[in-house]
């Protein structure tokens, strides 16, 4: 019977909102491809300290000898020789919005960044191609001793030593090929330092925008939150659509101090030519908490699995994620956690939706070391298939080397229940609305973790996805 129900045709969503773009007006751009000369050039252009220049060159060596991963999504479409690693927009970093050049300003205005800043954020950083073009933090936050600036300025400030001690210590360039690439050509990104005991009540936000075609964005976000402090950091990403592959190989390192708490929210809406090979990692000291909230909607191919290292006793991680893959997209997302101390706990909840020939995979790794006595881990992932041309794989791994643990895992895959659609229709809803309501309900546990404006955006996105889908 159910087979006679017509297949729903899910149209590609209207991304035109993000699809505006401007002529590339760069003051400096490296040649495509990657050579020691290019890396030296970037380093010189940025006026790197000597250790950073060496670090970049060493990373390049590692990059050259590291093979591509032999698992996960195909990366054949990515031609590294064709990717421009460094594009500097034709402007210096500004602290006043009015001073940002018009095309860049218009971009962010259209994305609603200054508006959000005025409304609900403690500070905003905006990166355009490879450089941070705007950074502003509320005075009250600065007075608490919070540092929020672009990483390159920070490297030249009195935080230089602290940065040297932390930079790519959590994600070493040897981690994988794209971490090595990042180490060699990283550019832009944010540095956040929250002193002990300080609670940043309103979120900080970074927004990344890639405008130049065939370019790579390699921003580095370094967050250090000292003992007992609290921070909510929001990251948003988008890019217009070009016909050549763009690459995003950013890196996020978060150091969560004793009894500190960090919430890191990401809404990723890159265009469909983007290879999003981002590496995110957090380490938690005793009693520290890391909370990840992650929404993946855009990009052509994503490999994104934030890792949490629960290093101190009683450290905690929570991961809440949603991935929505459509036509031509291969989104491989999930989370990793290493329980390395007693009484640590992790909780991973994800939802995947695949439609219109897209691939939405969940991949996770929960490792419990010998020392992690009395640790707890729970993983729950749910997938929703909206048609039979899409794909959704669930690939969780547990690796447990300790007997005093409690590890649970649940996975579910299914479709929209025809009975539920039928019921809602009998109560007067159109089929389209009924389906949108059900998908919205499926995503609800994730949406409620998002900052309000993002939750609204996600709901709109789901409604857009479901529009004109009945046929």
Partner 1 sequence: MTTTEILNALPVTTWNHLRVNSAPKEAALPERPETGWGATNTAYELSEGVRCTALLPQECTGLESGLGEAADLSIHTGANFSRFFRAEGESSGITYLRERLDAEHPNAVTHTAIHAKSGSKSTFVQLIQSDAETAGISASLTRIAAEPGAEVTLVQLQLLNPNCKRYNAVSVKAARDAHVRIVRAELGGSVVVAGARALLDRTGGAFDLDAIYYGDGDSILDFNDVAVHTGRDTHSEMHHAGVLADRCRKTLRGTIDFRRGAAHAVGHESEDVLLFSPEVRHRAAPLILCTEENVEGQHAASAGRLDENVLYYLASRGLDPQQAKRLMVDARFAPVLDKIPDEALRDRTRETLERRLEHAQILG
Residues that bind partner 1 (CB under 8 A): 2-3, 70-72, 363, 365, 367, 370, 373, 383, 385-388, 390-415
Distance CA 447, CA 70 (A): 34
CB atoms within 10 A of CB 393: 14
Q: Between 378 and 437, name the residue whose CB sits nearer to partner 1.
A: 378
CB 111 within 8 A of CB 193: no
Q: Between 71 and 161, name the residue whose CB sits nearer to partner 1.
A: 71
Q: Between 202 and 413, name the residue whose CB sits nearer to partner 1.
A: 413
Residue 184, token pair as written in the block: 């060699």
Distance CA 336, CA 206 (A): 23
Residue 22, token pair as written in the block: 């401007």
Residues whose CB is less than 8 angstroms from the CB of residue 362 and which lie 6 or more positions away in sequence, other chains included: 323, 333, 334, 350, 352, 381, 383, 392, 393, 394, 395, 396, 411
Minimum CB separation of residue 6 from partner 1 in Å reads 13
Q: Between 163 and 372, name the residue whose CB sits nearer to partner 1.
A: 372
Residues whose CB is less than 8 angstroms from the CB of residue 198 and which lie 6 or more positions away in sequence, other chains included: 144, 145, 146, 226, 229, 230
Residue 192, token pair as written in the block: 């956040």
Q: Between 64 and 417, name the residue whose CB sits nearer to partner 1.
A: 417
Q: Between 397 and 452, name the residue whose CB sits nearer to partner 1.
A: 397
Minimum CB separation of residue 72 from partner 1 in Å reads 8
Minimum CB separation of residue 220 from partner 1 in Å reads 23
Q: Between 44 and 406, name the residue whose CB sits nearer to partner 1.
A: 406
Minimum CB separation of residue 354 from partner 1 in Å reads 8
Distance CA 223, CA 321 (A): 21
Alpha helices in 144-297 (DSSP H): 151-155, 160-166, 177-185
Q: For residue 379, give Cα distances in angstroms to 26, 53, 407.
A: 45, 41, 8
* Strand residue runs (E) in 272-404: 274-276, 279-284, 289-296, 301-304, 307-310, 316-325, 330-339, 345-354, 359-368, 375-385, 394-400
Minimum CB separation of residue 253 from partner 1 in Å reads 19
Indicate left, alpha or beta for 449 from its phi (over 0: left) and psi (-120 to 50: alpha).
alpha
Nearest to 327 by CA among 290, 350, 297, 348: 297
Distance CA 275, CA 249 (A): 8
Nearest to 307 by CA among 374, 224, 251, 236: 251
Minimum CB separation of residue 353 from partner 1 in Å reads 11
Minimum CB separation of residue 382 from partner 1 in Å reads 10
Minimum CB separation of residue 373 from partner 1 in Å reads 8
Residue linked to tokens 């709109």: 460
Minimum CB separation of residue 416 from partner 1 in Å reads 9
Minimum CB separation of residue 22 from partner 1 in Å reads 39
Minimum CB separation of residue 10 from partner 1 in Å reads 11
In eight-state DSSP terms, residue 391 is B
Residue 172, token pair as written in the block: 């070493």
Q: Between 32 and 407, name the residue whose CB sits nearer to partner 1.
A: 407
Q: Between 159 and 177, name the residue whose CB sits nearer to partner 1.
A: 177
Distance CA 236, CA 221 (A): 13
Q: Between 138 and 409, name the residue whose CB sits nearer to partner 1.
A: 409
Q: Between 99 and 410, name the residue whose CB sits nearer to partner 1.
A: 410
Distance CA 352, CA 331 (A): 10
């Amino acid at each position: 019977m159910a087979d006679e129900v017509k297949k729903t045709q899910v149209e590609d969503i209207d991304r035109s909102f993000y699809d505006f773009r401007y002529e590339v007006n760069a003051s400096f751009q490296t040649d495509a491809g990657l050579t020691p000369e290019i890396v030296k050039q970037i380093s010189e252009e940025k006026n790197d300290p000597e250790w950073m220049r060496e670090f970049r060159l060493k990373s390049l060596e590692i990059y050259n000898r590291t093979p591509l991963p032999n698992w996960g999504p195909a990366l054949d479409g990515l031609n590294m020789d064709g990717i421009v690693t460094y594009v500097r927009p034709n402007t210096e970093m500004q602290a006043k919005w009015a001073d940002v050049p018009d095309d860049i300003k218009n971009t962010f205005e259209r994305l609603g960044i200054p508006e959000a800043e005025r409304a609900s954020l403690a500070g905003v950083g905006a990166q355009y191609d490879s450089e941070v073009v705007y950074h502003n933090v509320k005075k009250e936050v600065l007075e608490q001793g919070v540092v929020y600036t672009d990483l390159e300025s920070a490297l030249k400030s009195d935080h230089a030593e602290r940065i040297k001690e932390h930079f790519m210590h959590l994600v070493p360039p040897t981690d994988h090929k794209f971490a090595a690439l990042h180490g060699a050509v990283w550019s832009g990104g944010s540095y956040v330092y929250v002193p002990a005991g300080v609670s940043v009540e309103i979120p900080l936000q970074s927004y990344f925008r890639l405008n130049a075609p065939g370019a790579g964005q390699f921003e580095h976000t370094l967050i250090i939150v000292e003992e007992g402090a609290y921070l909510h950091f929001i990251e948003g990403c988008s890019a217009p659509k070009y016909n050549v592959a763009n690459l995003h190989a950013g890196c996020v390192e978060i150091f969560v101090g004793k009894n500190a708490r960090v919430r890191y929210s990401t809404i990723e809406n890159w265009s469909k030519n983007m290879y999003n090979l981002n590496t995110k990692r957090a380490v938690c000291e005793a009693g520290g908490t890391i909370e990840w909230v992650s929404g993946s909607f855009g990009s052509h191919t994503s490999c994104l699995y934030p890792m949490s290292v629960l290093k101190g006793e009683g450290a905690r991680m929570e991961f809440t994620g949603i991935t929505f893959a459509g036509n031509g997209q291969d989104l491989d997302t999930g989370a990793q956690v290493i329980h390395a101390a007693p009484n640590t706990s992790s909780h991973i909840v994800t939802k995947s939706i695949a439609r219109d020939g897209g691939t939405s995979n969940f991949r996770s790794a929960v490792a419990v070391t010998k020392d992690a006595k009395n640790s707890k881990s729970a993983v729950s992932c749910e997938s929703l298939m909206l048609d039979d041309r899409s794909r959704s794989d669930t690939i969780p791994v547990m690796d447990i080397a300790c007997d005093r643990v409690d590890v649970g895992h649940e996975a579910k895959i299914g479709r929209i229940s025809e009975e539920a659609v039928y019921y809602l229709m009998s109560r007067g809803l159109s089929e389209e609305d009924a389906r949108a309501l059900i998908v919205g309900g499926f995503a609800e546990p994730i949406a409620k973790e998002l900052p309000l404006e993002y939750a609204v955006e996600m709901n709109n996105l789901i409604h857009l996805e479901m529009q004109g889908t009945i046929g």
